[in-house]
Amino acid sequence: MSSLVPEKALLRILDANLDRAREGIRVVEEWARFALENGKLVDQCKSLRHELAALQSPTICQSRNTPEDPGTSLSHPDEEKRSSLTGVVRANFVRTQEALRVLEEYGKLYDASFTAHIKNLRYRVYTLEQIFNQSMSTAQQVFTQCRLYLVTSPHPNLVEVVEQALLGGLRLVQLREKTSSDSEIMRLGRALRKLCTDHRALFILNDRPDLALALECDGVHVGQEDAGVALARRILGADAVIGRSTHRPTEAMAALAEGADYIGVGPVYATPTKAGREPVGLEYVRYCAEQIPLPGFAIGGLDLENIDKVLQAGGTRVAVVRAIMNAPDPKHTTQQFLEKLHGQPQG
């Protein structure tokens, strides 16, 4: 083998990984620009890209031989799909960090100053990733702050009612359409998805992980007769908020074992939403609050008159349907619920 071959191979390795690092940073930069709208982070990304471009000397670029590169035709199933928008950002941080590690190791055979610069860039990318993680308000992070959960019911002005509730401070909405067609669910879902995005609220779909994926929902809620938590997680990804309806201790324990992010606890009182189902009462609320280490949303016949009893039983979160959907003033009613749940005036 000629002595020129190893040198050419080295230059091709550097060229390919400089490209990978720049491309990865560019994907991250777009998130900073259009999602976070953070000019400081955008500038940091641009600076990293320009420094990497400056390291890509003409000698390195001239080594490129894309037609004969076997790597261009290789792929992996994980590279062909992403579970969420934040998953795209995380994947490209990993891609960039891997490329920089390759550059640092092979750079030791190329030039000491090149290697030192790459090492500095690698640590800056680690720091940048930490900043991004703190800046990105993921569904899971937002969910931990939610105490009030609106579950919709059929209404001639459903979108308008939800909008008023969001204006009142609501941050968690579930679209529940048991008898509607897929096309109607998609129509309502698109409208609510936009509203929730505009108000920085989470949007959950009932029963249907497939449609939740199509609507880019933040999660899905499944009942005891629906697809399990594991299947919903495979469809929607690790960042999704997955809830499970429960009516007794064994179901609550099963939801915990399945990896649910929260449980519905009810129905506490008789409700037409769950016609024919025996109310579980406040004892089950108390049990879940004391024994189940998951957020539990008490649900079923709850209103501003009886919510205090739920709080006294240890409940800290409630899901409501008619109390807001049928309220004369959904915005004001939402504020009243939030005031009770958070202990301070809302609005």
Sketch the domain layout of the chain as residue ranges.
4-135, 140-342
Of 38 and 313, more confident: 313
Q: Is 186 exposed, middle or buried (0-12, 13-18, 19+ CB in 10 A)?
A: middle
Rounded Cα–Cα distance for residues 247 and 238 (Å): 26
CATH dotted code for 140-342: 3.20.20.70
- Catalytic residue positions, numbered: 176, 245, 274
52 pLDDT exceeds 60? Answer: yes
Per-residue pLDDT tens digits for 226-278: 879 999 999 998 889 999 999 999 999 999 999 899 999 999 998 877 767 79
Q: Is 124 exposed, middle or buried (0-12, 13-18, 19+ CB in 10 A)?
A: middle
pTM over 0.75: no
| pLDDT confidence bin for 347, thresholds 50/70/90 | very low
| Domains 4-135 and 140-342 fall in the same CATH topology | no
Span of 62-66, 112-116, 146-150, 193-197 with lowest mean pLDDT: 62-66
**82, two tokens:** 């992403």
Q: Topology of domain 4-135, per CATH?
A: Ferritin (1.20.1260)
Buried b or exposed e, range 2-23, using 16+ CB within 10 angstroms:
eeeeeeeebbbbbbbbbbbbbe
**136, two tokens:** 């990105």
Per-residue pLDDT tens digits for 76-126: 444 445 445 677 888 999 999 999 999 999 999 999 999 999 999 999 999
Rg (alpha carbons) of the chain, rounded to whole number = 26
Rounded Cα–Cα distance for residues 255 and 258 (Å): 5
